[in-house]
Amino acid sequence: MIDQPLISQSQVFTFDLPQRKINWLERTIGPEFYRIYRGVITNPLSITGTVLILFWLVVAGLAPVLAPPLNTVNPYMIPRDGFGTTPKVPGTPWKIRPPAMPAILQPLMPKGWVHIMGTASGQWDIFYGVVWGARTAIKVGLIIEGLCLIIGILIGSLAGFYGGWLDEILMRITEVFMAFPFILAALTMSAVLTPSIGRGIWAPTIALVTFGWMGYARLIRGDILALRERDFVMAARVVGAKDSRILFRHIIPNAIYPTLVLASMDIGTVVISFAALSFLGIGTEVGYADWGQLLSFARNWIPNLFTYWYIVVFPGLALILFVLGWNLVGDALRDIMDPRMRGRGSE
Amino acid sequence: MTQYIIRRLLILPVTLFGVTVLIFAMLSFLSPEERSALYVRDIPHNQAAMDGIIKRYGLRDPIYVQYWYWLVGRPDPVSGEINGGITRGDFGYSRYAGQPVIDLIKRRFPATIELTLWAVFPIIGIGIWLGIVAAVNHNKLIDQVARIFSIIGYSFPTFVFGLILLMVFYAKLNWFPASRISDWADAIISADNFKHYTSLYTIDSLLNGRFDVFLDALRHLILPIVTLSYVSWAVFLRVTRSSMLETLRQDYITTARAKGVKESDIINKHARPNALIPVATIGGLQVASLLGGVVFTETIFNFPGIGSAAAAAASQLDVVTVMGFTLMTGLILILANLVVDVMYAFLDPRVRLQ
């Protein structure tokens, strides 16, 4: 009795795990990206965010159609209808040199081109500024985030990979850059650069990059510190791979992922900072299609702001909806990326 | 823990050195003519006088020499009098305001202190309280509302929010005016018999027994306080909420429940102290965001603090002035982070008992 095995060979239960269906999309983009894609499209908040981002991409893409430029050499300059200081209400007909009417707006304005969102002081057309401002926002968002990523990844991976004194020095430098309130430091840098490179998008862009890369450097450094002890790195070393090859071909591709997600989430914040500098009068030149620049017109009308509500509401709404889109998607991405939150729904 | 604090204190001089190097590196982008504001008040109008000043203060010397003089001050070759030197508290001259930068900072600082001090209470109170309420009522209506509020709070730029508040509560309803104080109250404050104990209008007016002035100062403060602090409410709400959720899942909470501890005791005595540890770490970051936020808040509300001065100086490209403010806030921030880190060591038993 006792010698007999408790379960005979024939009694062993076998399970046939049901094969999970893998559709073409998952096969093409891989399980990690597919999980992110599923997470984003099943959450109502991130769907809203995606729709908002797509909306602004379409507006930016169709800017020459929605608001045909008068100045084709520099389409980012907002056309103005005279030089009067008092803002005009939405719907005022365009008097001096109205731009050509795009076909899709024809039914909206049977009597000819009007200022759809009114004009700011100086008779800058707000509609034009909001539409082309979407282009500016996407452009500076991508440029700034791209440059911050390059610098951050370079510094963070050197520090994490080599460690020792190089790590110590690079991390102390990173801390020094983080020692200032971000917007004040960017304001200073922008003011320093403006006399030499002139007004425009470049002074604030460089300023925001100078004080914007540190988060990525720290994040990727941490991930690389963990990765460089792994067996596949040792294996690469054993076969005699050079440092640069190990770093760029083996480690960075494995570590870059959370950093990329963080950077994409930060586009909204960066666009706010850029608009903020313009709002304070240290960014783009007056009349450049940029939401912060448009909002700065409101500073002259604070006691009458309720009468001239359209100077604040339209560009302000544009900025908020743009940033909200990125933040909603970013929020969902963070939940999806966080391993502790997997399978727990949104928290 | 002593080791941790000592290590933290040893890094301090290194960071301070780095901060001054970074600031001076930015200054070195300027031409020697613009840099002369570090030592002289007025821009000389002819080239010969300018050359004299550049020579006198060594503004074309090698950069490390200039850095050293900027740090400790430069003795005048003729009179031997020492000029400049940030360690002596001389940040140069503010050409936009027509006075030494340090005087401008001293004059503008009380308003900013008053604004930020008042802003801290609602941040800690509302942010943390809402975060705990949301976590305790996880996934219920109040939690969803708090969550949405927090996302919108993140997406609302300070300056747009401030403009909208002004549009509704000042331009339309005229409940809360802009600037720091009404003219009639300003006259009382400037009078000889009004004693300035702290230069904070709300406190001084109470100490002088002028309740009407206090109310007026408070009325001017409400919109700026809300504008300055709502982003931080959102941040504190979010961090407190997720940390509290994490804590409520711990085994020791289950143990306490199993023992039959009251739910209110579990939340207030067992969970909350531990859940607040990560909240303390973002305290330092929030000081930074407040000091950045005053730039917009004060500019929009015409509030005469260091933020609006920095913005005005920057828009007139008066770099030496902005640089003084940046250096100043940088130093405040470094100290604040030091305090937060040391506090963290006391709060977190894992660090305390090391």
Q: What is the DSSP string of B261-295?
A: --HHHIIIIIIHHHHHHHHHHHHHHHHHHHHHHHH
pTM: 0.86
CA distance B302 to chain A (A): 10
Tokens representing residue A231 in the block = 């067996």
Q: How many residues does chain A have?
A: 347
The three-state secondary structure class of B75 is strand
Residue A346's pLDDT band (cuts 50, 70, 90): very low
For B169-184, write each residue's pLDDT tens digit: 887 887 877 777 777 7
Q: Do A188 and B34 touch (CB under 8 A)?
A: no
Q: B113 with B200: CB under 8 angstroms?
A: yes
pLDDT greater than 60 at residue A335: yes
Which chain B residues touch A347 with a CB distance below 8 Å? 242, 245
Separation of alpha carbons A246 and B238, rounded Å = 39
Separation of alpha carbons B301 and B159, rounded Å = 10
The three-state secondary structure class of A76 is coil
CA distance B198 to chain A (A): 25
Burial of A19 (0-12, 13-18, 19+ CB in 10 A): exposed
Cβ within 8 Å of B, A 23-62: 45
Residues of chain B with pLDDT under 70: 351, 353-354
Which chain B residues touch A183 with a CB distance below 8 Å? 292, 295-296
How much of chain A, in percent, has pLDDT values that exceed 90?
27
Separation of alpha carbons A117 and A17, rounded Å = 60
CA dihedral A292→A294→A296→A297, nearest 10 degrees, is 180
Separation of alpha carbons B1 and B317, rounded Å = 46
Residue A347's pLDDT band (cuts 50, 70, 90): very low
Cβ within 8 Å of B, A 114-173: 172-173
Which chain A residues touch B300 with a CB distance below 8 Å? 299, 302
Q: How far is CA A170 from CA A150, A229, A262, in A?
A: 15, 20, 21
pLDDT greater than 60 at residue A320: yes
> Which of B29, B171, B330 has the CB atom closest to A196's CB atom?
B29
Q: Do A196 and B323 touch (CB under 8 A)?
A: no
In the prediction, which pLDDT does A342 show? Answer: 47
Separation of alpha carbons A130 and A308, rounded Å = 16
In a mutational test of the A interface, the residue from B14, B19, B159 whose CB has the highest number of chain A CBs within 10 Å is B159
Separation of alpha carbons A271 and B157, rounded Å = 10
For B212-246, write each residue's pLDDT tens digit: 888 888 888 888 988 888 888 888 888 888 889 88
> Which of B160, B296, B311 has the CB atom closest to A319's CB atom?
B160
The mean per-residue pLDDT over the stretch A244-254 comes to 87
The three-state secondary structure class of A71 is coil
Q: B347 with B274: CB under 8 angstroms?
A: no
For B302-314, write each residue's pLDDT tens digit: 888 899 999 999 8
The mean per-residue pLDDT over the stretch A134-155 comes to 94
Q: A92 with A72: CB under 8 angstroms?
A: no
- For residue A274, what is the nearest residue in chain B, using CA coordinates? B157
For B31-66, write each residue's pLDDT tens digit: 887 888 788 777 777 888 888 888 877 788 888 888
Q: Do A312 and B160 touch (CB under 8 A)?
A: yes
How much of chain B, in percent, has pLDDT values that exceed 70?
99
Which chain B residues touch A292 with a CB distance below 8 Å? 159
Alpha helices in A250-302 (DSSP H): 252-265, 267-279, 291-296
| Greater pLDDT, A66 or A11 | A66
Separation of alpha carbons B80 and A234, rounded Å = 64
At position A200, the amino acid (one-letter code) is: G
In the prediction, which pLDDT does A154 show? Answer: 93
The mean per-residue pLDDT over the stretch A200-208 comes to 91
Tokens representing residue B191 in the block = 């009078």
Q: Where is average pLDDT lowest: A6-20, A290-304, B10-24, B158-172? A: A6-20
Quick one: which of A209, A182, A172 has its CA closest to B333?
Answer: A182
Separation of alpha carbons B49 and A213, rounded Å = 42
Alpha helices in B166-271 (DSSP H): 183-190, 201-207, 211-248, 251-259, 263-265
pLDDT greater than 80 at residue A1: no
> Which of A275, A309, A327 has the CB atom closest to B151's CB atom?
A327
Extended beta strands in chain B, E state: 74-75, 82-83, 93-94, 99-100
Q: B279 with B240: CB under 8 angstroms?
A: yes
What residues does A137 pair with on adjacent strands? none
| Greater pLDDT, A151 or A261 | A151
Average pLDDT, chain A: 83
The mean per-residue pLDDT over the stretch A14-33 comes to 74
- For residue B321, what is the nearest residue in chain A, using CA coordinates? A188
The mean per-residue pLDDT over the stretch A117-137 comes to 86
Separation of alpha carbons A297 and A196, rounded Å = 26
